[in-house]
Amino acid sequence: MRAPILLAILILISTTGCKDRHKSATTAGKSQSKEERSTKLSDEVKRRLEGLRAAGLPVTQEELASWYAAESLTNNAESIYLAAFDHISTNATTRKFLPPNSLNLPAGNAAMTAAMKKDFSVVLHENAEAFRLLGKAAEMPDCRYSYDFKGFETLLPNAGRVGNASKLLQLKAYALVESGETAGAVRAILDNVALAKSLDRDLLIGHMTQLAFCHSCGDAAQRLLNRASPTSDQLKKLELAFKNLDSILDSMKGLKQCVVGERCGAIDLMTRPVADIKKLFAELGSTNLEGLDMDGYLQSAPFNEDFLMTLDIYENYEKAYGTPFPHNLEIYKNVEQLAGTAKDKQYYFTTMMIPALAGILDKQGVALARIRMARLAFAVEQHRLSNGGLLPEKLEQISPKLPDAELMDPFNGQSLHYQKEPRGYQISSVGVDGAGGVKRLAGADASNPNSPPSEAKSKPKTGAPAGSLLVFVVAK
């Protein structure tokens, strides 16, 4: 799998309307001698690049590779994880649940069909060695996956395989919950959390994968609490694992690394020889670039303005990722304003590069909210065990067991909402638009505790998904 910058170029170059300002009447017979030149960087661009180096941040791909591997790991779980990925079955039954196919787990609190139970049993058997190795790797403290750094062509060979492993661990948790093997289901969830943590040193593709794993871990935990009764010790293990994942997301470490990697990819593209850049644009075959004097643009003042705008936006990303939720959401608005300015001024590279990180802070917040809702549910279940099966009436009855910051909804800075129901309880976050409120979702009831957030009725901000209320429902 290739890095997101190339993906952004492939998708967005056909939609950006940046050609008019920088067209020229260049003919097809123009001399090609200029193509061997590099882009002409202004003194200000050079100063900014040296400033990044002075701050200990990489600028070239060679520097990025050294920066990425700078931290010494004595017990790197990578080789064990790779061996586990190699042992994932290629048989038809396993493939049925892996991309491009949907995992098709049972919706809400619904029981598995007999056919699904049979298939899941086969999958567990076919992948027994892969599951054993995933469990072994989960016991190791550190992991860092290897990359072949080539700028926007950086190869990320294990993104798909690690995703397959996570899906199988989620499937295993569901299957063992269904068969009454609660301890095994808890172990599968813990192994999936460890797999998510294995990506905490990764760049953008790895980080996006990690955020997806947070949802699968939260979904499995919700299934467990709805259809099984974990012990106090099992709940403590789950709480500790989810707390560690909470700390990783809350620190913004992954997002900061994403900025470093994506900025290096952008700089790599914008400082390549003119011929290389023109070749890439020609291979993309965009009709929006017809008539553009690319050689002239890459030697011009507007190109340097474009370069500086790209650096400005990445700098604002860094500021946002260095600020805790929900205050970073306000800083993020600066990025949106700069992106709008770049589009208005028809800056080619800025409009192509920046969307790779667009919306990722919202995704980070949703994943963090999902993990915190699960943690609050673990605390509720501990209360239930300690009080003869009675649920807390109010959040205040369990909040002393969790610090305020760990109960905080990332999107409004207030506590997550807890509501006891006639059968079970609901935990909710206001979601991306910050206006989800605390009302019940349509369908989020005892018969369907996994109701999708899209059913919430709230007015979103521009660009936010309609109805972004997030819920975690336990109906027992």
Q: Is the pLDDT assigned to residue 192 strictly greater than 50?
A: yes
Stronger pLDDT, 323 or 438, i.e. the higher one: 323
Rounded to 5°, the CA angle 248-6-292 comes to 140
Distance, in Å, from the CA atom of 212 to the CA atom of 364, rounded to the nearest integer, reads 10
Name the residue ranges covered by the structural domains of the chain.
Answer: 389-476
Q: Is the pLDDT assigned to residue 94 strictly greater than 70?
A: yes
The predicted pLDDT at position 303 comes to 93
- Mean pLDDT of the region 463-471: 58
Flag the least confident range among 2-11, 158-167, 347-356, 370-379: 2-11
Flag the least confident range among 179-183, 257-261, 330-334, 455-459: 455-459
- Mean pLDDT of the region 47-75: 91
In 3D, which of 463, 466, 201, 469 has the Cα closest to residue 355?
463
Rounded to 5°, the CA angle 320-194-155 comes to 65
Q: Is the pLDDT assigned to residue 12 strictly greater than 50?
A: no
Flag the least confident range among 145-154, 269-278, 323-332, 339-348: 145-154
Q: Is the pLDDT assigned to residue 285 strictly greater than 50?
A: yes
Distance, in Å, from the CA atom of 232 to the CA atom of 212, rounded to the nearest integer, reads 27
Instruction: Determine the residue type at 347.
Output: Y
Instruction: Determine the residue type at 287.
Output: T
As a whole-number percent, the residues of the chain with pLDDT over 90 amount to: 51
In 3D, which of 23, 30, 38 has the Cα closest to residue 293?
23
Flag the least confident range among 75-84, 155-164, 185-194, 342-351: 155-164
- 152 pLDDT band, cuts 50/70/90, is low
Q: How much is the mean pLDDT over the chain?
A: 82
CB 450 within 8 A of CB 222: yes
Q: Is the pLDDT assigned to residue 17 strictly greater than 90?
A: no
Tokens of residue 61, six digits: 């791909």
pTM of the full structure? 0.84
End-to-end Cα distance, the chain: 42
CB 317 within 8 A of CB 45: no
Tokens of residue 26, six digits: 């260049």
What is the per-residue pLDDT across 65-78, written as a single tens digit (0 to 9) for each? 899 888 888 899 99
Q: For residues 72-84, b (16+ Cβ closer than 10 Å) or e, as one string?
A: eeeebbbebbbeb
Q: Is the pLDDT assigned to residue 320 strictly greater than 80?
A: yes
- 359 pLDDT band, cuts 50/70/90, is confident
Q: Is the pLDDT assigned to residue 25 strictly greater than 60?
A: no
Distance, in Å, from the CA atom of 98 to the CA atom of 280, rounded to the nearest integer, reads 33
Give residue 437's region: left, alpha or beta (phi > 0; psi -120 to 50). left
The predicted pLDDT at position 28 comes to 34
Half-sphere exposure of 379 (CA within 13 A, CB side): 23
Task: Give the 3-state secondary structure of the chain.
Answer: CECHHHHHHHHHCCCCCCCHHHECCCCCCCCCHHHHCECCCCHHHHHHHHHHHHCCCCCCHHHHHHHHCCCCCCCECHHHHHHHHHCCCCCHHHHCCCCCCCCCCCCCCCCCCHHHHHHHHHHHHHCHHHHHHHHHHHCCCECCCCCECECECCECCCHHHHHHHHHHHHHHHHHHHHCCCHHHHHHHHHHHHHHHHCCCCCCHHHHHHHHHHHHHHHHHHHHHHHHCCCCHHHHHHHHHHHHHHHHHHHHCHHHHHHHHHHHHHHHHHHCCEHHHHHHHHHHHCCHHHCCECHHHHCCCHHHHHHHHHHHHHHHHHHHHHCCCCCHHHHHHHHHHHHHHHHHHCCCHHHHHHHHHHCCHHHHHHHHHHHHHHHHHHHHHHHHHHHCCCCCCCCHHHCHHHCCHHHHECCCCCCECEEEEECCEEEEEECCCCCCCCCCCCCCCCCCCCCCCHHHCCCCCCCCCCCCCCEEEEECC
Distance, in Å, from the CA atom of 96 to the CA atom of 209, rounded to the nearest integer, reads 21
**Most distant CA pair in the chain, distance:** 86
Q: Is the pLDDT assigned to residue 108 strictly greater than 80?
A: no
Tokens of residue 351, six digits: 């409009």
- 47 pLDDT band, cuts 50/70/90, is very high
In 3D, which of 299, 207, 255, 281 has the Cα closest to residue 6?
281
Distance, in Å, from the CA atom of 292 to the CA atom of 405, rounded to the nearest integer, reads 52
Q: Is the pLDDT assigned to residue 461 strictly greater than 50?
A: no
